[in-house]
A and B are shown apart, each in its own frame.
Chain A
Amino acid sequence: MELTTSGVATLRRDPDQAAGDAEGADAALAASGDGRAFERLYRVHLARIHSLARRMIGSDAADDVTQDVFIRAWTKLATFRGEAAFGTWLFRLAVNVILARRTTLGSERGRYDDSEGALETAARPAAAPELSLDLEEAMSRLPDGARQVFVLHDLEGYRHEEIAKLLGIVPGTSKSQLHHARMALRKHLDR
């Protein structure tokens, strides 16, 4: 199976112990069919998964892909054995779903107006600091490959070897794409 937990360094703080235990319980409940437990898990992880989707493949498809991730997670839950934090497992699954989706989006003709995707995302939450908006906006202007490497490396803490496997490139390309992204972003932020 494609799920591994080794080699993924996260830059985020781990959930504290109590929350981790509660989540483990919810994961077990959801695995045996408890929809409420799954909804709780969804609420906890939605922002992270959706942000990953948005940054990797853009806002238009992010809602759709996020739904796909959670639907896929539900069907695969029976195989989640609790040897890693549920969030890590879910995140890994999300990366796989999002990357598989890339090829579909690549083939869609620009002219075709997917009525679902054409829905504009509503105004962003007022609480988001302007600094974050600038960076995300700048990121969305990067070419796909560079942006995805940047997200996986600098935001999510993957190593180049791992990124190379995920994206089907060699580690050298991952490194140069990362550098390219950082150099381009630095120019945007300076404006």
Chain B
Amino acid sequence: MLATLATLTALALGAPQQTDTTLPVRSGARLEVENFGGEIAVKTWSRSAVRVTASHSSRDRIEIGASDAGLHVKAEGHRGPPHVVDYEITAPAWMALNLSGVYTDITVEGAQGEITAETVHGEVKVSGGSGNVSLKSVQGAVTLEKARGRIDLYSVNEEIKASDVSGDLTAETVNGDITLRQIESSNTEANTVNGDITYDGTIKDGGRYRFATHGGSLRVSVPEKANVAVSVSTFNGEFNSCFPVQLTGKAKHRFNFTIGSGSARLELESFDGDIKICRPGAVSKEE
């Protein structure tokens, strides 16, 4: 329910417009931005206020709905060609973000709260985030760094990159590589159909890790002191290890080996590509 509605109307006709307004927000408020085309760029500051700057056609006006729950930003106005707005928003670092668009690039810098960002044609690039972080695109790369919590990264036609991330991590795409570096996790799943997967991160006791691709290769790090039961499955690919391993089980297209106490579980699956394990820091995509 909206307690107050702040509506900002653009002025002249014909030329592109700028909207610039700052609204105070209460602790715990969420920010929601809906766009169609253009950009959503969010930065943070220490003020308890949100500044919305938008460049858009004069036929659109930016509406910011303010309620106890937070702010809701979208463009209203003419019918016909869809709204194309470039938003530059500065919000408190603690603010939870819900950003969506279609032909929209989304970038976030310095956020410390929850983040949900979804677009169809556009990149999602986030630095920061904690709690639930969910980033989705269809035709666009998804990039995340410096986040902690429950992380879900989805693309369809492009790559996913995560670095300096800790927590439970899921990364899924169809036609793209997945590159995960400096990951601290007990629970990671990366899945692609037509792409390579690189994982350079922890293998913690009791953890679960699964890396699966159909046509691409896997490069996964296993630290020296790790305790992990590893299962390698492939139809047509080769397996290589940077250090000696001793097989404990072998069947057609799958074999297993154990390192240390075998406490963690690591699944490596590539139907058609090569699988390689190395020490952290030595894992890289190129041969």
Contacts and interface: CB of A to CB of B under 8 A. Distances in A.
A1 B85 CA distance: 13
A112 B194 contact: yes
Q: How large is the interface on B (under 10, 10 to 19, 20 to 34, 35 or more residues)?
A: 20 to 34
Interface in B49-64: 55-59
A115 to B, nearest CB: 14
Interface SS, B side: loop
Given A78-B84, A78-B85, A103 B141 contact: yes
Interface stretch (A25-33, A129-137, A141-149): A25-33
A76 B176 contact: no
Contacts of A17: none
B216 interface: yes
A41 B279 CA distance: 54
Contacts of B216: 107, 109
Contacts of A71: 103
Interface residues of A, number: 23
Contacts of B158: 103-104
Give the most central of B37, B59, B216: most A CB within 10 Å. Answer: B37
A33 B14 CA distance: 11
Given A76-B37, A79-B86, A100-B141, A33 B176 contact: no
Interface of B: 14-16, 37-39, 55-59, 80-81, 84-86, 103, 123, 141, 157-159, 175-177, 194-196, 215-216
11 contacts: A33-B59, A33-B80, A76-B37, A76-B86, A79-B55, A104-B158, A104-B159, A107-B159, A107-B196, A108-B175, A112-B215
